[in-house]
Structure 1
Amino acid sequence: MLTITGTGMDSNPVGLAVLDAVEMVGNVTVPMMLIVVGFELPFEFHNMKSILLAVVLRMVMMLALAYLINKFVIQQWLQLDELYTAALYTMFILPPPFVIPLSIIGECEHKNYVLNFVSLHLFVSMIAFPVVMALL
Structure 2
Amino acid sequence: LLWSLKTILVRKVVLLVLALLINHFLIDQILGMESIYRYALLVMFLTPPPYVITIYMRANDTQNADYVDNTLSLDTLVSILMVMLATSLYV
On whether the aligned pair clears a TM of 0.5, the verdict is yes
Amino-acid identity (%)? 35
Q: Which has the higher helix share?
A: 2
- For residues 3 and 51 of structure 2, the distance between their equivalents in structure 1, rounded to whole angstroms, comes to 20
- The structure with more radius of gyration: 1
Structure with more contact order per residue of length (Cα contacts < 8 Å, sep ≥ 6) = 2
Corresponding letter in the other structure for 1:76 = Q
Write out aligned runs for 1:70-81 (5 A).
70-81=23-34
- For residues 49 and 98 of structure 1, the distance between their equivalents in structure 2, rounded to whole angstroms, comes to 20
**Shift, 1:105, TM fit:** 2.2
Identify the residue that residue 46 of structure 2 maps to in structure 1.
Answer: 93
Q: Which ranges of structure 1 fall in alignment gaps of 5 or more residues? A: 1-47
TM-score (norm 2): 0.93
Identify the residue that residue 14 of structure 1 maps to in structure 2.
Answer: none
- For residues 73 and 43 of structure 2, the distance between their equivalents in structure 1, rounded to whole angstroms, comes to 18
Displaced runs of 4 or more, over 4 A? none
Count residues in correspondence.
89
Identify the residue that residue 118 of structure 1 maps to in structure 2.
Answer: 72
Identify the residue that residue 134 of structure 1 maps to in structure 2.
Answer: 88
Superposed CA RMSD in Å reads: 0.8
TM-score (norm 1): 0.63
